[in-house]
Amino acid sequence: MLNADAIRDAVRGDGRRRIIGSSVAVLGLLLVLLLLVVTSCGGDGNSAAADKQREKEKATGPSEAVVAVAPKDGAKNVATTGALEVTASKGKLTKVTVKDEENREVPGKLAKGGASWKPEGHLRTKTEYTVDAQAEDSEGRVSAKHAVFSTVVPDDTFVGRFTPDDGTKVGVGMPVSITFNRPVENREAVEKALEVTADPEVDVEGHWFGDERIDFRPEKYWKAGTKVSLKMNLNGVEGAKGVYGTQQKTVDFTVGRSQVSVVDVKKKQMTVTRDGKKIKTIPITAGAPPNTTYNGKMVISEKHEVTRMNGETVGFGDEYDIKDVPHAMRLSTSGTFIHGNYWAGKPTFGSANTSHGCVGLFDLRGGGTSTPGAWFFKNSMIGDVVEVKNSKDETIAPDNGFNAWNMDWEEWTKS
């Protein structure tokens, strides 16, 4: 049996359990209420975080931007102009790199807004190119494209023979002249691929003589000491249908001191001026009627210690054939020279015009060392100017030799 004390302890213990149980229930209720309050107060923050997370997940998904490359990957015999273009839809191009097989990058230009990219010039023939392009959509996600193609292998090609030669020093009258071995139909494209620059800088323009020759010159004679550079970027230029250029070359030359010699046919003398100062006056003999000497500004294009002059080569038949003409310098393609003359008596020079159109200076057979002919030869260089005036003849054509200076600047720049 339970005694009175045991019953009393049991009753007290049950009461404590009820009290503790009630406390636990109250505490649980308070915790629930607290969580509800915290959740209610922080609802906007949790929503923003969730949105940010969703945006992040969205941003890591695939880009909607689509990059397209023309020509398609693996294409062969691609044209060197007009075929290459990179475009982007549902986004904008951010980077385009095009390189050839020698890792040379092709310069190009992005259109406004990044919708497209095109090369600034033409491509080279028989060359493999690699294209790598990237674009971004409105969410900043990147899309990329890689392609490889190769350009046309031409059946027919053309080249340009240039003057003056690389590394030479020339007179102030020497134009840059390029003669092509095939007729050029697409003059604009060919001229664009030829760049002539000068230091000190001066405007240099080209002029076409027919469809096989173009010359470049400034408005006035070059300034002494000018450094001139010709860049021939002809590889890949379609000069005529199916005929492509092959040259990729730079030609540099320097302009020497200024020397201009004025031949007065009426006075039968030549005055040599160097760097603005008259340094010598030489008696001459010029062309006699009906074979008078051209008027105009002529440029020395060749120098020969000794040469043969045969009338048959210039339309004079068997009128003369001199095998040992000393100190000869060419002034025209048609056969005008300024040269030493040993077969006319010394009194002829300065008193009579007796030649077939050339300008003669007194000289000795075999070439003297102190004669007027020898002196002028020694003191002249390719590109020096010889101006002829007061002759009863027409002005020499600008393409008869390197005589571009006989055309005024306005006419020169028309083509």
Q: Left, alpha or beta for 276 (phi > 0: left; psi -120 to 50: alpha)?
A: left
Asked about 146 being catalytic, the answer comes back as no
Could you give phi then psi for residue 178, rounded to 5 degrees?
Answer: -130, 125
Instruction: Say which of 122, 327, 339, 356 is annotated catalytic.
Output: 339
Mapped onto helix, strand or coil, the DSSP state of residue 84 is: coil
Please report the beta strands in 350-390, taking only residues with DSSP state E, as ranges in sequence order: 359-362, 385-389
β-bridge pairing 302-310 and 321-330: antiparallel
Q: Is 339 labeled as catalytic in the residue annotation?
A: yes
What Cα–Cα distance (Å) separates residue 80 from each residue in 5, 105, 106, 134, 182? 114, 15, 12, 23, 19
Looking up tokens 């390197």 gives 402
In the numeric block, the tokens 């890689």 are attached to 146
Q: Are 106 and 118 in contact (CB under 8 A)?
A: no
CA 315, 317, 323, 325 dihedral sign is: negative
Active-site annotation, residues = 339, 358
